Amino acid sequence: MKLLCLHGVGSSGSICESQFEPFVKAADPSYEFVFVNGPAASIRGPGMGGEYDGPFYSHTTGYTTKEMAEALDHLEAVVEEMGPFDGVVGFSQGAATAISYIYDQQTRHGRMPFGFALLFSSVCAFSPNSKYSKDVIERLAARGYDLEQSGVADASSLTPEERILWETILKVIKPLRDGQALLPDIDLNVYTHREHVDNAPRLLLPQLMGEKIKIPTFHMHGKRDAQFMRDMSLIARDMFDESLMRKAEHSGSHHPPNKDAEVRSAVRALEWAIGQSRKLGLLP
């Protein structure tokens, strides 16, 4: 069993390996966990304390459709060079990048690059497809809302699609930016000015997706993580087929599980995901 492991923003493969050490040690010793660096040099990411040495990396230089296409092209090259991989393990931005890649492969090619996914504390995912939700973004931008002045109450006149995008920007993306945890940063004015719509990141939201992602998944986040971070994990979770899903919380904040009982729970979920993937014929 070979698993690709993707780190968070402003981190590295070696840092991610140290964060997942309890999980790897508790898993079947025959399993191979492959930790890789993202392609983009980065500043130290949120939560990367002094105990972690650089260099630091991210999986993307930004979240426009062009930048996301470059990020997914790199990930595909990693899969082709170092794979095949039976499954993927992602943390934070690494989990979101895995989601973007899986959904892009499913919708463009009708195939699954992994048999299952374990997603820890995922942040929001973005699409490389410039046509995805463009009409919704254009309609929202035409209303001329001010991100710093307009609130959720202003969304009452919006269509359901416009409302979910606007509320997600206000409740999740803006707090992430204001907390200086959005790396690389996004100019949120691209959602409020019509002339900048082409540069607006295509935020993947369950309500705007044409189909759910159909592979077995396990989703886990920390109970003590910031509310907007937990909200992002829930948004990511809802992109997947619930009948093929297990979910859990651990007692910490924005990090993989490290307490024995919580680690064992994640390992049991890994074994469940492998079994489900075999039943579906995604793994031999």
Provide the residue type at 186 as one letter: I
Q: Which of 12, 92, 127, 277 is catalytic?
A: 92
Instruction: Kindly state the tokens that stand for 170.
Output: 């206000």
Active site residue 225: yes
CA separation, residue 281 to residues 88, 112, 166 (Å): 17, 11, 39
Contact of 56 with 43, CB cutoff 8 Å = yes
Q: Which of 127, 225, 231, 255 is catalytic?
A: 225
Q: Which of 127, 254, 255, 265 is catalytic?
A: 254
Buried b (16+ CB within 10 A) or exposed e, 175-214: bbbeeebbbeebebebbbeeeebebbbbbbbeebbeebbe
Neighbours of 273 (CB within 10 A): 24
Residue 223 exposed, middle or buried by CB count within 10 Å (0-12, 13-18, 19+):
exposed
Active site residue 238: no
Give the chain's length: 284
Q: Which residues are catalytic?
A: 92, 225, 254
